[in-house]
C-alpha cells in the first residue's frame, strides 16, 4: 500500500490478490497434495539420514516447494 499511484495499486490487487479465490480442478489439487506430502517426507528423510550434521529443515516452508513447482508449471504452460 506504499504505492502512491492508485491505478498501480488496483492493478496489483486485481492481478495477485484475486487469484486466491480461483477454483482449482481436482486433478491439480491431488497433484499439489502429492507435492506437499513429498516435501514433508523428504524433510523427514533428510532429518533421519543426516541427523548429526548441521542442516536447515523445511519447518514452516513445506508449501514453498509445491508453490514453486506450480509457478514453474504455469511458466512452462505459458511458453516461458
Q: For residue 36, which phi and psi values (nearest 5 degrees)?
A: -65, -45
Task: State how far the Cα of 62 lies from the Cα of 38, in Å rounded to an integer.
Answer: 9
Task: Establish if 43 belongs to a structural domain.
Answer: yes
Task: Establish if 3 belongs to a structural domain.
Answer: no
- Share of residues in the chain with pLDDT > 70 (%): 89
Tally of structural domains, the chain: 1
Q: What are the tens digits of pLDDT across the range 24-43?
A: 789 988 988 888 888 888 88
> Where do we find the cell 514433508?
40
pTM assigned to the model: 0.56
Q: Tell whether the model's pLDDT for residue 65 goes beyond 70.
A: yes
Domain that holds residue 63: 25-77
Check residue 60 and give left, alpha or beta (phi > 0: left; psi -120 to 50: alpha).
Answer: left
Task: Establish if 34 belongs to a structural domain.
Answer: yes
Q: For residue 24, which phi and psi values (nearest 5 degrees)?
A: -110, 130
Task: Establish if 54 belongs to a structural domain.
Answer: yes
Task: Establish if 5 belongs to a structural domain.
Answer: no
Find the mean pLDDT for residues 11-36.
82
> What integer best gives the mean pLDDT of the chain?
82
C-beta neighbour count of 51 within 10 angstroms? 8
Per-residue pLDDT at 44: 83
Find the mean pLDDT for residues 35-61.
79
Amino acid at each position: 500500500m506504499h504505492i502512491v499511484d492508485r491505478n498501480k495499486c488496483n492493478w496489483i490487487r486485481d492481478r495477485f490478490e484475486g487469484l486466491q479465490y480461483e477454483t482449482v480442478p481436482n486433478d491439480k489439487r491431488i497433484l499439489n497434495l502429492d507435492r506437499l506430502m513429498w516435501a514433508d517426507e523428504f524433510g523427514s528423510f533428510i532429518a533421519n539420514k543426516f541427523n548429526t550434521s548441521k542442516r536447515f529443515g523445511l519447518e514452516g516452508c513445506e508449501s514453498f516447494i509445491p508453490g514453486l513447482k506450480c509457478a514453474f508449471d504455469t511458466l512452462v504452460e505459458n511458453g516461458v
